[in-house]
Structures are given as structure tokens and as C-alpha cells.
Structure 1
Amino acid sequence: MSLLSLKGVESFYGASQALFGVDLSVEDGEVVALMGRNGMGKTTTISSILGMVKPRGGSINFAGKEIVGQQPHRIAQQGIGLVPEGRRCFPNLTVEENLLVAARGSDWTLARVTELFPRLGERLGQYANTLSGGEQQMLAIGRALMTNPRLLILDEATEGLAPVIRQDIWAALRKLKAAGQSILVVDKTLSELLPVADRCFVLEKGVTVFEGKPDALTAELQDRYLGV
């Protein structure tokens, strides 16, 4: 049984339908890439998983339990950690406070997060709103890990970050993968995303149009579904 399984998910914003049948799965210890052009339903899919958008059709199963209809905080408590688009760190809390406020469980600790991201260890007493964008992204990932999630979801993992910071983020994700962390990641940088992913799902107008290994996502398919 998959750790996460979406089957035929249909979601709406008011009367406007955004998802028309999304199928997606993540196995234990797997890194899955969720891809598609802007506006094709990636963030809505994540919001549907987390209960921030209530699906009106289909099913979402996490760790053997149906989670459609549950409140977002209940879903998070079952072991899903989100690194949201835009990072959304608590600006008036220090780095250490941002991390400790999310602490739950024992596997991920302050020491382990700062080992993964040494920059955060150097800035524990610094307020989040004084960090660079890349450092805030590291903090958002660290905060999600402090919840000790079974599944880590990253929405636009490296968008808008400097190349050197992007490399730090991808290096961290490779370390997490090696440690067996299950990850669902959205990112547009295919050259960095595909080598990390075990499988890929592509959305087109709210429907899953491709599922497969990264090497099956040919140049033709990339141009058809992901090209500008």
C-alpha cells in the first residue's frame, strides 16, 4: 500500500473546478516530482492533500486512512510536513524559535536540522525576517522536518533562489532521500529535479497526464506538457 494515494481527485474553488481527476502516489522512502505548467493544478493538488481545499470527488489515502474531509491540522498531525510556496516563516521569531515551535517527536531535533543546514546554526538568534530568501527556505524546510513527518511536501522548492542556494537545497534533498525520507516536490528546474526523483507525475488542466520514471519523460513529452 502506498504511503500517499490520490485517485480521481476533483477539487473546486467555489463554482470553478480546478482538478478534474488527479491520480498520484508516493511510496515509503520515495521522492516523487509533481510537475506541470503554471495554473495546471499542482498547488491545488497539494492544498487538497492537506485539507485546505476540500475535494468533492475521488479519494486521498494517507498511511492507510482516508483523509478527505478531515481538518488540515488533523491531517498534519498524521505525519505530513509542508514547505509552502513563499516559505511563510514567522517573521518576528528567531530561527531557533521558528524551529522549536514546530517540534514534535524525537527523530528531527534542532541539532540535526542545523547539521543539515549549517547556515541556520550560525543564525539561531537572528529574526526570520532578516534572513535571505535562501536562508528562509532552509528554515521552512527545517521547520517542516521538526514535525518529524512521514511525508515531506515542498511546493516550489527552489523558486526565485540564487543558483548557489539552489544547489544547497538540492544537496539537502539528496541527503533526505538517502536517509529514507518520503518526499513530494514541486519545482520547475528539471535539470535538478529529475535526477533526485524516483517517479514523476505531470498535470495538464487539472488531470494527471503522465506517470513514470524520470527517464521516460522524453524531450517530446517535456515540450508538450512542460514547455513555455
Structure 2
Amino acid sequence: MMLLDVKDIATFYGASQALFGVNLHIAEGEVVALMGRNGMGKSTTIKSICNLMPPKSGEVRFDGATTGRLPPHKVARLGIGLVPEGRRCFPNLTVYENLVAAARPGRWTLERVNDLFPRLAERRDQMARSLSGGEQQMLAVGRALMTNPRLLILDEATEGLAPVIRQDIWRAIRTLKGDGLSILVVDKTLSELLPVADRCVVLENGKTVWAGPPDGLTPDLQDRYLGV
């Protein structure tokens, strides 16, 4: 079953057009990697899916429903959990308070999140601002999971983290995939990203230029669309 369907969206920052025709879809239980060099429209695509930056044209459908007229919080309530770039935890709340602030009933409980990230249980009563960057990233993922989403969106989930913490995040992503959660993930670490992805979507200059299975992303394509 198709969970998310993005059709030919165009999105603007004021008068400046950022997306010129992005197409992607995600089925139930599928992990899709959204790829491209810096500045090619990945984060804008995510903001458009969540209606933080509504597209001027094209269509976003989630579970068959058009999201175009919905405010972002109602899009989230449809079942989209966002882990934004830069984490954006609530700094003046404790780990526990961050996790329960937007919690909704479902399979993902505080106990399950703590099992996935034991460090969060250890730091339950610490203020989020006192956590390391990696711990804040775990908290951001855990907070999104506590909304019990049908689709989890991870924007640069391991950027700037120490290698051991990156491995913790990738381990969690593999666990979530095994649990059947649909995931849209942006990351630059191809060695970790490609093995977990079912399909890849590549953007260039705000357009979808390639989509297919990870083994179809040849070295030539990687060099053309992802190389520095």
C-alpha cells in the first residue's frame, strides 16, 4: 500500500523557487533514501511534505489524503514523525519531559524508546541542553517515535556525530526497519545508508533526477549526482 505520494511539487522561498518538480513515493514498511548534494532541495522537500513550507503546485498525499490545506500539526497527526536537521530538542525540559510532551498512544512507549536508546533512560531527569550532541539526536528520534508515526522522517540523522554515536543511530534505524516502520532518511554516509534503503531518490537543483534500488546507483551516478 502506498503511504506517501509526492507528485511534481514546486516550492518557493518568497519569490525564489527551490523545488521545480520533486516526485517520490513510499510504501508501507519501506525505507527510502532521499539523496543529493548540499543545497539540492532535500530539506525543502521534507518541509513541503510536512507542510512547513507548503508547495505552490503539485500534490502531497499521505495514506490517500491530500495534505495541502492542513496546518503542519494536523499533518503530523496523520502519522508523520519528523526528526529535523539540528535536532531541536526542548532545551529547558528534561529528557523525560521531551519524550512525553507530544506522546500519542501506540506501540512506541517510553519503555520501548528507552530500550532502543538506553542512554535516555540513564539521563531521564537531565535537561536536554546538558546532553551531548549524540544524546540530543537520540532524544529527537525518541521524541518522534513517541508520537507513534506511520512514517518517520530523518533529516541528516548522523551529521556531525562521533563515529560510535553514528553507529548507535544506524543500529536504531535498522531496528525500526525490521519493525516494519516506513522511513524517509537523508544522510551522506552511503556506506551505511545504501544497505538499509529499499529505494533511493536523487535530487539535483530541486528536481528528481533519478530513482531506483540502491544497487542501481552505480559509481558513475554517484559521481554525477553525489560527488563533491
TM-score between both structures, scaled by the size of structure 1: 0.99
For 2:102 and 2:116, the matched residues in 1 are separated by 17
2:115 maps to 115
1:26 maps to 26
Quote how far apart the aligned CAs of 1:183 are: 0.3
Question: Helix, strand or coil: the match of 2:211?
Answer: strand
For 2:94 and 2:54, the matched residues in 1 are separated by 33
For 2:39 and 2:206, the matched residues in 1 are separated by 9
Quote how far apart the aligned CAs of 1:106 are: 2.5
2:106 maps to 106
1:171 maps to 171
Q: Which letter does structure 1 place at the counterpart of 2:128?
A: A
Within the alignment, does 1:48 sit opposite 2:48 as a pair? yes
Q: Which letter does structure 2 place at the counterpart of 1:203?
A: L
1:135 maps to 135
Question: Helix, strand or coil: the match of 2:88?
Answer: coil
For 2:36 and 2:204, the matched residues in 1 are separated by 6
Q: Which letter does structure 2 place at the counterpart of 1:136?
A: Q
For 2:74 and 2:37, the matched residues in 1 are separated by 30
Question: Helix, strand or coil: the match of 1:208?
Answer: strand
1:195 maps to 195
Q: Which letter does structure 1 place at the counterpart of 2:48?
A: S
1:214 maps to 214
Question: Helix, strand or coil: the match of 2:12?
Answer: strand
For 1:19 and 1:71, the matched residues in 2 are separated by 20
Task: Provide, for residues 93-121 of structure 1, a one-character-per-residue CA deviation record: whole Å limited to 9, x for no partner.
Answer: 11001001121012111100000001111
Task: Provide, for residues 16-74 of structure 1, a one-character-per-residue CA deviation record: whole Å limited to 9, x for no partner.
Answer: 00000000011100110000000000000000001111111111110010111311011
2:124 maps to 124
For 2:74 and 2:175, the matched residues in 1 are separated by 28
Quote how far apart the aligned CAs of 1:88 are: 0.3
Task: Provide, for residues 144-180 of structure 1, a one-character-per-residue CA deviation record: whole Å limited to 9, x for no partner.
Answer: 0000000000000100000000000000000000000
Question: Helix, strand or coil: the match of 1:45?
Answer: helix
For 1:106 and 1:205, the matched residues in 2 are separated by 39
For 1:65 and 1:132, the matched residues in 2 are separated by 39
For 2:65 and 2:90, the matched residues in 1 are separated by 31
Moved over 2 A (4+): none
Question: Helix, strand or coil: the match of 1:92?
Answer: coil
Q: Which letter does structure 2 place at the counterpart of 1:152?
A: L
Q: Which letter does structure 2 place at the counterpart of 1:114?
A: N
For 1:182 and 1:19, the matched residues in 2 are separated by 24
TM-score between both structures, scaled by the size of structure 2: 0.99
Percentage of identical aligned residues = 71
1:16 maps to 16
Paired residue total: 228
1:145 maps to 145
Q: Which letter does structure 2 place at the counterpart of 1:142?
A: G
For 1:99 and 1:166, the matched residues in 2 are separated by 21
In structure 2, stretches of 5+ residues that fail to align are: none
